[in-house]
Amino acid sequence: MRQRLTPVPADLTGTVVTPGDRRYAGLRSTYTTRGTPEAVLLPRTTAEVAAALGYAREQGRPVAVRSGGHGLSGSSTNDGGLVIDLSALNRVEVLDRATRLVRVEAGARWAQVAAALAPYGLAISSGDHGNVGVGGLATGGGVGWLVRSYGLTVDHVRAVKVVLADGTVVRADADREPELFWAVRGAGAGVGIVVAFEIEATEVRNVGVAQIAVAARPDGSTLRRWAEVLRESPRELSTAAMLLPYGSSTVLSITAVVAAESLRRVRPLVAPLREIGDLLDDRVDLVPYPALVPTAHLHPNVGQQPNLTTNGLLAGMDGGDAAAIMRAARGRHRALVQLRSVGGAVNDVPPEETAYPHRHQETLVVASVFPPHGPGALDAAWRGLADRVDGAYVNFESRADARTFGRAYPGPTGERVAAAWRRYDPDGLFRAPGRLPDLTASRG
Ligand SMILES: Cc1cc2nc3c(=O)[nH]c(=O)nc-3n(C[C@H](O)[C@H](O)[C@H](O)COP(=O)(O)OP(=O)(O)OC[C@H]3O[C@@H](n4cnc5c(N)ncnc54)[C@H](O)[C@@H]3O)c2cc1C
């Protein structure tokens, strides 16, 4: 029989939620996954994070780290283990308005970050949903609404404060602990618990937003034109698009965001997107940046959205790529397929500068299936794309296995990530099965 948890030390009093506690129902699960951890620890300070980690180590149970709980692999909860939930560490502070340097704690949600920075005329391009947490997104990449003009979120991280597996607290930046700083920006889940990020924000008040829906031709020609428009457009334009079933046809629903303060600039930039297929809907507005990741998105995570997701990157979009994407969306399992523009400023950063190495691709393709469909359905939907894509973004993957690792961190990046994970977490505390692959035995 499993040993009971030992009593928490005095310095963690008041931070532990166990199944008998009425708060447990709102803390046990993530967005995608229902969990049954034996305890959820809610540290309020860096010292408490270190103490929580020490306590978790002593219990010899799996340890999950959670910031916002939106991770697609569900690895921020577990069954029978401990969860370190950083939601009480959620401060957002402007350190220096002149250099736009802000400090964001890992447990904040991106809606809270946007709301806190808006009065300063600043924003950090992060993701498309306000409830996503800072910690998971900013350690994996960060494909945000302004991705082509701003780059990835990790590209603007200037320093991090990390609690390592042995409880040591380290500040890492380009000069101090540069290898840790490198790994945190793309492969941070395996090196420690990042408690705070210093990030260079950008000057943004309003942005242009267009909602455009066009009929997507099954032969993929509409998608090719979408990719062509993006390739020829200035980087102020970023788009996220979804392929949605519409009777027996398919609609490409595009949200285009323009990093510009006037509709006179916004309208001509989105106009070519209206021409890529038969237009079904079309609206253009100027909105404050927080309207893209509103606090209305904030909600507790109770396993409400189970799904299986995979993704891949494309450098171009030839006829075969576009037709394969359409087949994935229109196949028997009706995978939900999303396209995100990347490229632009993302590709200004050399591949070896961060642990996110994908710096020549232009499109991110994400496919999800929902219950009752399972892994077989996702594989069937993805089959036509599997050999076409070039790398993957770790944060849009449900399966935290060695194959995912190889696609997210190909070649020398993978060697370097595995070495960093082993160096900063020699006992594999953060690499419990199903959480991160334990590659340290097989890699240098
Ligand atoms: C609805 C939805 C929309 C999304 N939209 C976008 C998007 O537009 N762009 C984008 O780039 N991504 C997007 N994502 C993916 C998102 O980046 C990842 O799911 C990310 O991991 C979520 O971060 P979190 O803190 O909420 O997750 P959590 O579930 O809390 O964490 C996920 C994993 O990240 C690691 N982790 C979390 N916090 C820390 C920390 N402080 N230190 C070290 N490791 C940590 C842990 O391994 C943890 O298991 C979206 C996901 C969802 C579900």
Instruction: Examine the pLDDT at 443 and tell me if it is beyond 50.
Output: no
pLDDT at residue number 442: 41
For residue 221, report the distance from its CA to the centre of ligand 1, in Å: 33
Place of tokens 């642990």: 355
For residue 171, report the distance from its CA to the centre of ligand 1, in Å: 22
Same domain (yes/no): 116, 75 = no
pLDDT at residue number 376: 96
For 5-37, how does the pLDDT look when each residue is reduced to its tens digit (9 = 90+)? 999 999 898 999 999 999 999 999 999 999 999
Cα 219 from Cα 222, distance rounded (Å):
8
What is the domain range of residue 155?
92-203
Cα 153 from Cα 413, distance rounded (Å):
19
Instruction: Examine the pLDDT at 437 and tell me if it is beyond 90.
Output: no
Q: Are 346 and 152 in contact (CB under 8 A)?
A: yes
Same domain (yes/no): 345, 283 = yes
Joined tokens for residue 131 = 């409830």
Which CATH number characterizes residue 185's domain?
Answer: 3.30.465.10
Residue to mutate, 48, 105, 109, 132, ligand 1, most ligand atoms under 8 Å from C-beta: 132
Same domain (yes/no): 100, 50 = no
For residue 320, report the distance from its CA to the centre of ligand 1, in Å: 31
Cα 1 from Cα 150, distance rounded (Å):
53
Same domain (yes/no): 268, 339 = yes
Considering the domain boundaries, does residue 435 fall inside one? no
Average pLDDT of the residues in 102-120: 98
Residue from 52, 61, 69 nearest 106 by CA = 69
For 76-88, how does the pLDDT look when each residue is reduced to its tens digit (9 = 90+)? 999 999 999 999 9
Q: Dihedral sign for Cα 109, 114, 117, 119, please.
A: negative
Measured from the Cβ of residue 25, the count of other Cβ atoms closer than 10 Å reads 12
pLDDT at residue number 97: 98
CB of 35 shorter than 6 A to ligand 1: no
Measured from the Cβ of residue 13, the count of other Cβ atoms closer than 10 Å reads 9
Q: How many residues does the chain have?
A: 444
Same domain (yes/no): 325, 378 = yes
For residue 441, report the distance from its CA to the centre of ligand 1, in Å: 26
Cα 191 from Cα 162, distance rounded (Å):
9
Please identify, by atom number, the ligand 1 atom nearest to the C-alpha of residue 396. 15
Please identify, by atom number, the ligand 1 atom nearest to the C-alpha of residue 193. 42
pLDDT at residue number 3: 77
For 115-148, how does the pLDDT look when each residue is reduced to its tens digit (9 = 90+)? 999 999 999 999 999 999 999 999 999 999 999 9
For 231-248, how does the pLDDT look when each residue is reduced to its tens digit (9 = 90+)? 999 999 999 999 999 989
pLDDT at residue number 441: 43
Same domain (yes/no): 247, 322 = yes
Considering the domain boundaries, does residue 326 fall inside one? yes
Same domain (yes/no): 136, 278 = no
Same domain (yes/no): 360, 266 = yes
